[in-house]
Amino acid sequence: MQNNLALKRLVNAGLKEIIREPKTLFFSIFFPFFFLIMFYGMSSIIDPSASTGLSFIEYLFPGILIFALISIGFLGTSVPIIEMRQKGILKTFRTTPLKESVFVFSQIIVRLILSVLQILFFGLLGLFMGVIELRELIPFILISLLGMGMILTLGFLLGGLFNNTELASGVLSFGMIPLLLLSGAMLPSYILPEFLQYLSYVIPFTYLTDLYHQLLFGFDGKVSAIGDILIVVALCAIFFYLTKRTFRWI
């Protein structure tokens, strides 16, 4: 009962914190939609791909969503945790009976609430743009939630490893685009050099991208859809376990 009450209060405080922090709110929630609108406009003047038959926005749509989810998972999760550690807020928590798992779960719930809103909005936009068919909407949402779970636990893991917000912001912001490119989310992986194609197998986002491509476009996957799901679930479990082992209050 005490843990449930603490969880509820932490979730409420976390939501208020996100709303009060305009920079985090902008870059983790609104910024990805600027990319979506920009690429949607560009799609009207760029011919569809001869090899896939997809328009510019169709291919990039899953990648932009993954970028949006990573923004919440990294910039909206890792960086605030580091800031709380630097300000001594986490140290204060440590003097209370609060369990680490309760704190982590509360922060995950806050980000999941934001992610659900974002995923639903992307789903509606995907229907409007013709990227998603109505029968694909529910699987699309479920895949997105699964991917968000993986990204959030990775974000918490990184939040426990970095000590400086400026360093973390720079590294995570700079690292997002190469990871998305190598995972096939922003460009077809078959155009990459062979050694980079092999490298993509160790990037977690590759399997989320693979799921989207199989669902929305009928592409042949690197592994089966079931295999992708099992890998993403396993990564969630691994990242959460590592987070519990490495999370630092000070």
Asked if 140 contacts 38 with a C-beta cutoff of 8 angstroms, the reply is: no
Give the per-residue pLDDT at 232. Answer: 95
Give the residue-averaged pLDDT of 70-98. Answer: 78
Give the residue-averaged pLDDT of 5-11. Answer: 78
Quote the mean pLDDT of the chain: 82
Give the residue-averaged pLDDT of 213-229. Answer: 88
Give the per-residue pLDDT at 129. Answer: 84
Give the per-residue pLDDT at 125. Answer: 87
Give the per-residue pLDDT at 1. Answer: 56
Sign of torsion over alpha carbons 38, 133, 110, 84: negative
Radius of gyration of the chain (CA): 19
11 Cβ neighbours under 8 A, 6+ residues apart: 106, 109, 110
Residue-wise pLDDT for 167-185, tens only, equals: 777 777 777 888 888 888 8
Give the residue-averaged pLDDT of 191-214. Answer: 89
How far, in Å, are 66, 87, 88, 175, 199 from residue 81 at the CA level? Answer: 21, 10, 11, 19, 29
As separate numbers, helices (DSSP H) first and strands (DSSP E) second, the chain gives 12, 0
Task: Report phi then psi at 91, rounded to 5.
Answer: -65, -35
The confidence band for 212, taking pLDDT boundaries of 50, 70 and 90, is very high
Give the per-residue pLDDT at 25. Answer: 66
Give the per-residue pLDDT at 209. Answer: 92
Instruction: Say whether pLDDT at 230 is over 60.
Output: yes
The confidence band for 140, taking pLDDT boundaries of 50, 70 and 90, is very high
Weakest mean pLDDT among 8-22, 126-140, 151-165, 189-203: 8-22
Tokens of 145: 């939630």
